[in-house]
Amino acid sequence: MANRQLHPETEELLTFSRKALIFAVQILGNQSEAEDVVQASIEKALSHPSAPHGGVDLQKWLYRVVRNAAIDRIRQQARESEEASESQLVREGGNPESQLEQQQLQQQVRLALASLPAAMREILVLKDFHDCSYEDIAEILSIAKGTVMSRLHRARMALRQQLLDIQQNTSSHSSNVVVLDAQQRAPISRNK
């Protein structure tokens, strides 16, 4: 195979793409998924009219595109995993009551997570759904490790509060139904 001289911008893009692949593997934890994400990102870099044409700006832009694509892939995997677990519950046939409880819990977590600001959702997804290390998250989000830890703590506290609020609303709704049922039965039992 002959040694071909590549255009300097192409060589630079190849160098950045190798680093972006490492970055994507760190986010996704899967070489194959990371390769797909980086390939799509490079295609975007080559075809996007407003993409920088080299230097540090190109590297930052490529990392941002890879990061966004990786997060989209994580979200897609979470949806697919959720759908698979729901269909598995149906296939297993288990206890319908426990299936319903599991589905309700999943729905509550989805609602609570969706109600959080995007920055909190992002850090929770990276850490708790994708098992990224604090260092990886710091690198992905371009923040200090200590900032990751404090933001993650705040995000978990906010998620916890949202879950408590959702559960409280659900239980107050359930108790209203019980109260109504009890009120409806009381006159009947008095007439007996």
Instruction: Report d(CA 57, CA 61) in Å as an integer.
Output: 6
Residues 110 and 64 in one domain: no
Helices (H), the chain: 8-28, 31-47, 55-92, 96-115, 118-124, 134-141, 145-191
Residues 105 and 89 in one domain: no
List all residues 6 or more positions away from 59 whose beta carbon is below 8 Å from its beta carbon: 16, 19
Mean pLDDT by groups of 10 residues along the chain of 192 residues: 54 80 81 91 78 72 85 82 64 68 81 84 82 83 92 94 86 47 37 36
User: How many C-beta neighbours within 10 Å does residue 172 have?
Assistant: 10
Q: How many domains does the chain have?
A: 2
- Which one of 93, 110, 134 terminates a domain? 93
List all residues 6 or more positions away from 169 whose beta carbon is below 8 Å from its beta carbon: none
Residue 89: its pLDDT value, please?
A: 56
Structure token digits, residue 183: 């009120």
Residues 87 and 105 in one domain: no
HSE-up of 65 (CA within 13 Å, CB side)? Answer: 26
Residue 2: its pLDDT value, please?
A: 46
Model confidence, pTM: 0.48
Instruction: Report d(CA 29, CA 188) in Å as an integer.
Output: 62
Residue 179: its pLDDT value, please?
A: 35
Residue 161: its pLDDT value, please?
A: 93
Q: Which domain holds residue 103?
A: 98-175
Residues 76 and 108 in one domain: no
Residues 147 and 105 in one domain: yes
Residue 158: its pLDDT value, please?
A: 95
Residues 167 and 127 in one domain: yes
Structural domain includes residue 3: no
Residue 140 maps to which CATH number? 1.10.10.10
Structural domain includes residue 113: yes
